[in-house]
Amino acid sequence: DVKVTQSSRYLVKRTGEKVFLECVQDMDHENMFWYRQDPGLGLRLIYFSYDVKMKEKGDIPEGYSVSREKKERFSLILESASTNQTSMYLCASRDRRNEQFFGPGTRLTVL
């Protein structure tokens, strides 16, 4: 089974802090994705990566950056957390048949 893990299930940070969300997949997938999930808005794509050190902006990249130094790991960075970034963050990786596999999510609260 494909496994996508995220470093934290719950995280509480203060406004202005730098926040790192980590995601690791174990199936050698090239493509990885970061989404945020908010009630009534579904999943919105923040960033994705199609290979090591490669990244592309999604639909809502403002206030976020990403890092992909190794194939299995894709990190989402909030340079200066703000309250409007309180959300559920989902990481996913994609196989060659276009199926995406999701991690359990990190619920981030910014105070």
Partner 1 sequence: AQSVSQHNHHVILSEAASLELGCNYSYGGTVNLFWYVQYPGQHLQLLLKYFSGDPLVKGIKGFEAEFIKSKFSFNLRKPSVQWSDTAEYFCAVKADRGSTLGRLYFGRGTQLTVWP
Query: Does the protein bind partner 1 through residue 28 (CB under 8 A)?
Result: no
Q: From residue 62 to residue 101, what is the string marking binding to partner 1 with x (rule CB under 8 A)?
A: ----------------------------x-x-x--xxxxx
Residue 106 CB, nearest distance to partner 1 (Å)? 11
What does 31-81 look like in DSSP terms, one character per residue? EEEEEEEETTTEEEEEEEEEETTEEEE-S--TTEEEEEEETTEEEEEESS-
Nearest CB to partner 1, comparing residues 81 and 87: 87
